[in-house]
Amino acid sequence: MMIPPARRRFGRWWHLSLVIAAGVWTAAAAEQSHTTQEEQGKRIFQRYCAGCHGREGTGEGYRLLGADPANLTSRQTQEKSDEDLLESIHEGQQGMPAWKDRLSNEDRRRVLAYIRSLAQ
């Protein structure tokens, strides 16, 4: 028995629309998880870090005697690897306390995602 042409055409489109729908869904999911990680990081940053590094991360917050808080938007910081920056956040630096007791690994990654979004 012959399949009516209309049905054959529909069959092909049905397939294509599934592919498109899957693509749109994947893109939307990726976009969403990206934004939430960054936004969670922003909240952490404003709570714990902005006092020294400034609300925009440029380092014009509170200054201790000694090292100025790093300008986190600078090329110098942004060129460092994730590992380096995560290590600095966890272990602290001269003039910055260690955050490992207060920030979980996940929070550290969130705050780094936010710092990455500040790149000049």
Q: Output the smallest distance, CB 117 to ligand HEC, in A.
A: 13
Residue number, 31 or 106, with CB nearest to ligand HEC:
106
Q: Output the smallest distance, CB 46 to ligand HEC, in A.
A: 9
| Residue 93, strand partner residues | 96
Residues that bind ligand HEC (CB under 6 A): 48-49, 51-53, 67, 69-70, 72, 76-77, 80, 85, 88-89, 93-96, 99, 103, 111
CA nearest neighbour of 111 among 93, 85, 74, 92? 85
Residue number, 21 or 98, with CB nearest to ligand HEC:
98
